[in-house]
Amino acid sequence: MEHEAGQPVRVQGGSSDGLESDRVSRVRKLLFRQMLVGIKDGRFFLGNFYCIDKQGNIILQDTVEYRSTRRSSPSPMEQRCIGLILIPSSCRTSCHVDCSIDEQLSLLSLPET
């Protein structure tokens, strides 16, 4: 069922394993970039994008955790370094990548699925 969405294309000069969908290779280009992931309980994690699996679980490196100090928002944030973390897709509510405005436009333009 995965194949009906995007046609596998040969990545030119890219990954060694040859066949890879355009969307996968675009995600691959995000690796090692600063990624900001929000989760259900209101915390955010800012770290280097290290890995993602089929289920959408994300691993971030050198992560900083941001959390509100009060339930009512907006409230001051407190932060701490927590290193290598795995964020299960089930608790992820948002995901942003640090990029220039030009790049943002190209990232956002997903081909119709």
Partner 1 sequence: MAAFDRAADDAPTTVQSRPRIPSGDNSVWADVSPLLNAACQDLQEGDLIHGDNFNLFAAMSALEIMDPKMDSGMASTYYSLDEAIENGAAPVPISDDKTTDVRCIIDIMDHLLACEATWHKGHSLAQTVYSCLYLLRPERTSSHALLHSYCQLMRATCKAVLSVVADSRTHEEEDLFIMSYGLPLSGDGNERCLPLLNAVEETICRQLRACKTSSKRRVTEDIEPLQNNPDLEEGYCKALLCRLRFRKHFYHLLMSMKRPQGGGLELAREHIASCISEIAHIQKSSDFLRASAPEMSEKNIDNTTASGCQPIGFDASLNCRLSAPTPPRAIKIFCFEKALEYFVKLLHDLDIICSYSLDPSLEAALLFVVKFQKSQPDLVSRAHLQLLLVQNGKLFGRYPMFSMITRAAGLPEVAENHDIQKNEFMMQLEQMVVTLLKIICTNAAWQRRKLGKMLQDWRVTYVQLELAFKKEFGNTSSNENIGFKIFQHILVWVEEQTYWIAFRFLTVGFELELYSDHDYCMVYWYIYIVLINLAEKKHLRIGMSSGIGKKKTKKKRDSLKDAGMNYQISAAVKFLQSQIYLAEGLGMMLAALRNERRIFPPQSPFSTEHEIFIQQFELLLKACLPDGISYQTYKESTAQANFSTLVMCDYFKEAQKIAKELKSNFANDPEMMAELRRIELVAERNNIALTVISRLGTPDPSVKISFTLSHHPFFATAIVKRS
71 binds partner 1, rule: CB under 8 A: yes
Binding of residue 19 to partner 1 (CB under 8 A) = no
Residue 11 interacting with partner 1 (CB under 8 A): no
For residue 42, give the nearest of 65, 16, 18 by alpha carbon.
Answer: 65
Establish if 38 lies at the interface with partner 1 (CB under 8 A).
Answer: yes
Look-up: residue for tokens 């990545």?
11
Q: Which is nearer to partner 1, 12 or 70 (CB)?
A: 70
Does the protein bind partner 1 through residue 10 (CB under 8 A)? Answer: no
Are the C-beta atoms of 56 and 79 separated by less than 8 Å? Answer: no
